[in-house]
Amino acid sequence: MNMKRMGALFKREIRDILRDKKTMVMMILLPLVLYPLLIVGMAMVSSAVIQSQAEKSYLVSFENCEDLEKEIVTILKEEEEKIGYKVKAVEEDNCKEALEAQEIDAYLSVEGKEVGIYYLSAKEKSATAYRALDEAIEIYADALTDQQLKDAGLDADVILNPIKLKAHDLSSTEESVGSALGAFMPFFIVTMILLGAIYPAIDVTAGEKERGTLETLLTLPVTNFEMIMSKFLAVSCIACTAAFINVLSMSGAMAFLVSSSLAADTNMSVDINFAKFVPGILITIVVMMVFALFVTAACMCTCVFAKNFKEANNYSTPLLMVFMFASYAPVLPDMELTAKTAAIPVVNVALLVAGLFEFNYNYALFGVVLVSNVVYSLLTVMVLGRIYNSEAVLFSEGFASVKLFDKRSEMKKNQMPGIGDSVLLMCIVLILVLYVGTFAQIKLGFGGVAVQQAIILLCPLIYAWYMKADVKKLFSFKAPKVKGVLGGICFAFAGVLLALVVGALLTPVFPQSAESLKAMDEMIKEQPVWVIILVMSVMPAIGEEFLFRGFLMGTLREKCRPWVAVIATTLIFAVYHMSLLKMFTISIIGLGFTVAAYMTGSIFVSMMMHFINNFTSVMISLYPEQVGKMFPALMKETLGVVEIVVITLIGVVLAVAGWLLVRGEKKA
């Protein structure tokens, strides 16, 4: 990838989009002028309507009710403020005909013991007159009840209100406002990002085809990847900006609306501490940025098939609808961010944002949402890459012949996977673990953990088989030498000790949820020991090593500089565990695994190390007392300064010893 060329293309795309009037109107003019205008205008219209309704006078008539008529007319006059409408009584000979001819708006008639209000529900004016009459009669009835109770010598207040009820809302104003905002904010933001992304996405894909510049672009010395990435990044930038402008302008208009209606409706002084929303808004911005990448990729994937603007508009309509419906999720009852919903695209973002405004901060789930969004974006970008590679789509419109996957029979023998393959595989594994793994854990309990490990093991193997990869080279199948094994053992224990220190230091910063740990502990304790050791230490040692030190490192080793390959493998291994605390400890442990596997060129060394590490933690959780007797430091809740220094020193010494040993093996 040549950054300079990509930069030039990116600049061009941005400039092109910004010079397109259509996009600019959609992006700037619409949100900055139209939305505030609409909201303010609507508020003004509705208040004007209310005012005119209040000022308008309604005509009512009475039939066979001399006594009642007098009372009601008095009430209508005296209680006009409470009723809210001006109502005038007029004489009519035939009330029914007059009402049908709309000469009067409603009439009252006494039939025996019943009082009837006649009105036309289809006519707005008549319906209002009905409400006014209804209110007046209620006032009259209340007065009658009061009078009758008083005549009977009773206290009206005690009889009518036997229980004095008052609701006390302990939610802070911020919480109530947040919950109201959280219900519609996600829908609103998602829609805005979509609207911001869709026009530029059409412009750089179908628009480019329509204007005939695509072939020009193909004559330039840029790789397909650079071309797609520059387009993708340009559209994402625009989408983010559009979302930002939209949110800003809409919140401004909303604030105006809220403050003006609060001022008009009630006299209470509402103090909203807006500072409380700042962390939520900041996280929302981060999540939305990542989400904008996904939206952009999805839009581009759809629009690339279109020949022109019109077609692209048609194709993107269903996409818009799906996204908008999904973003309605927070409105549904009982929908909240859980381990399950955190992996559903669009829905997860909507729920996360809604939760943030209700001050629910669950950082572990945020991690899942962010990672899954990155994964979906990557996958979609890769699909986009495949589509852009397909000449059928680029040159001759039709898309029946887009080949997203090559047949196995077309694969070259003994090839090595590329970085794209690794990214794809990682995405597939993650999605499978998130969906199938989580589902299996819910259904099978402890067995689900085994299913998860099986997925991690099988995916790289199947992928390697499908592409006819050079398995021996890719997975580093090589018997290690004694030095390498010893080095690996040193590294493994160094990792255990250093991770212990880091974990102890970081636990106060990222508190682990005690419940999830306890649930896991209980699930484990029900199983026989050999099963636990198999599932928790042997299976991860094989599966995760095949995936990370095998496929991932094997690929990166070929394509990148050594340190890039090692660091990238370690970080991806750490992120995959999706826990903030674990990310640090596992980075340390994983670094040992990766360095050992890289230097010895043997996956068996890192498998052994992985087994040692997991076996240690299984032993700690199974036999805490025995382990505590042998190594008291391992079981302590908090570590003292001396202990930290000593453990760190031993860890560092072991790490250095391990390094010398594996380096020795590499030289030999």
Partner 1 sequence: MIAANDLCKQFERTVMKEEEKKTLFSKKLQGKSGKKETFYAVDHISFQVQQGEILGILGPNGAGKTTLLRMLGSLMEPTEGNVEIENLKGEKITDSVELKKCIGYLSGNTKLYHRMSTREMLYMLAEIYEIPKEEADKRIEEISKVLDMDAFIDNRIEKLSTGQTQRASISRCLMHDPEIYIFDEPTLGLDILSADAIVNFMKSQKEKGKTVLYSTHYLEEAQFLCDRILMIYKGKIVKEGSPEEIMKQCGVTNLREAFHCVMKEVESA
Q: Is 123 in the site for partner 1 (CB under 8 A)?
A: no
Kindly indicate which of the ranges 93-101, 212-220, 578-586, 599-607 contains the residues binding partner 1, using the contact rule CB under 8 A: 212-220
459 three-state secondary structure: helix
Q: Is 212 in the site for partner 1 (CB under 8 A)?
A: yes
Nearest Cα to Cα of residue 191 among 342, 42, 349: 349
Distance of closest approach, residue 420 Cβ to partner 1, in angstroms: 17
- Rounded Cα distance between 60 and 93, Å, is 13
Distance of closest approach, residue 487 Cβ to partner 1, in angstroms: 40
Q: What is the residue type of 93?
A: D
Q: Is 8 in the site for partner 1 (CB under 8 A)?
A: yes
- Rounded Cα distance between 529 and 360, Å, is 38
Kindly indicate which of the ranges 44-52, 220-228, 433-441, 489-497 contains the residues binding partner 1, using the contact rule CB under 8 A: 220-228
Distance of closest approach, residue 215 Cβ to partner 1, in angstroms: 4
Kindly indicate which of the ranges 8-16, 137-145, 418-426, 469-477 contains the residues binding partner 1, using the contact rule CB under 8 A: 8-16
Kindly indicate which of the ranges 221-229, 261-269, 291-299, 362-370 contains the residues binding partner 1, using the contact rule CB under 8 A: 221-229
Among 16, 135, 174, 544, binds partner 1 (CB under 8 A): 16
Contact call for residues 381 and 423 (beta carbons, < 8 A): no
Among 40, 110, 115, 218, binds partner 1 (CB under 8 A): 218
Among 220, 255, 444, 479, binds partner 1 (CB under 8 A): 220
Per-position x/- string for 152-191, each x denoting binding to partner 1 as judged by CB under 8 A, each - no binding: ----------------------------------------
Residues near 441 by beta carbon (within 8 Å), at least 6 away in sequence:
448, 449, 451, 452
> What is the rounded radius of gyration, in angstroms, for the C-alpha atoms of the chain?
35
- CB count, 10 Å around CB of 506? 16
Per-position x/- string for 328-367, each x denoting binding to partner 1 as judged by CB under 8 A, each - no binding: ----------------------------------------
Contact call for residues 361 and 178 (beta carbons, < 8 A): no
Q: Which is nearer to partner 1, 20 or 336 (CB)?
A: 20
- Residues 223-262 touching partner 1, rule: CB under 8 A, are 223
Q: Is 12 in the site for partner 1 (CB under 8 A)?
A: yes
How far out from the chain centre does Cα 275 lie? 23
Distance of closest approach, residue 18 Cβ to partner 1, in angstroms: 9
Among 15, 150, 340, 443, binds partner 1 (CB under 8 A): 15
Q: Which is nearer to partner 1, 403 or 443 (CB)?
A: 403
Structure tokens at 73: 């007319």
Q: Which is nearer to partner 1, 230 or 585 (CB)?
A: 230
Number of residues engaging partner 1 in binding (CB under 8 A): 25
Distance of closest approach, residue 488 Cβ to partner 1, in angstroms: 40
- Rounded Cα distance between 591 and 651, Å, is 13
Distance of closest approach, residue 208 Cβ to partner 1, in angstroms: 9
Q: Is 7 in the site for partner 1 (CB under 8 A)?
A: yes
Nearest Cα to Cα of residue 382 among 430, 343, 421, 338: 421
Nearest Cα to Cα of residue 79 among 117, 149, 132: 132
Return the DSSP state at 408. Answer: G
Kindly indicate which of the ranges 120-128, 180-188, 210-218, 364-372 contains the residues binding partner 1, using the contact rule CB under 8 A: 210-218
- Residues 605-664 touching partner 1, rule: CB under 8 A, are none
Nearest Cα to Cα of residue 459 among 551, 594, 577, 586: 551
Q: Is 395 in the site for partner 1 (CB under 8 A)?
A: yes
Q: Could you give the strand order of the β-sheet that contains 106-111, starting from the edge strand earlier in sequence?
A: 86-89, 57-63, 106-111, 114-119
Distance of closest approach, residue 4 Cβ to partner 1, in angstroms: 6
Contact call for residues 480 and 602 (beta carbons, < 8 A): yes
115 three-state secondary structure: strand
- Rounded Cα distance between 572 and 562, Å, is 16
Nearest Cα to Cα of residue 306 among 208, 197, 194: 208
Distance of closest approach, residue 295 Cβ to partner 1, in angstroms: 24
Q: Is 391 in the site for partner 1 (CB under 8 A)?
A: yes
Q: Is 219 in the site for partner 1 (CB under 8 A)?
A: yes
Among 78, 157, 215, 522, binds partner 1 (CB under 8 A): 215
CA distances from 361 to 353, 365, 423 (A): 10, 9, 30
- CB count, 10 Å around CB of 448? 19
- Rounded Cα distance between 639 and 491, Å, is 22
Q: How many CA atoms lie within 13 A of 591 on its CB side?
A: 16
- Rounded Cα distance between 439 and 450, Å, is 12
Q: Is 404 in the site for partner 1 (CB under 8 A)?
A: no
Q: Is 393 in the site for partner 1 (CB under 8 A)?
A: no
Distance of closest approach, residue 391 Cβ to partner 1, in angstroms: 6
Residues binding partner 1 (CB under 8 A): 4-5, 7-9, 11-12, 15-16, 19-20, 211-213, 215-216, 218-223, 391, 395, 401
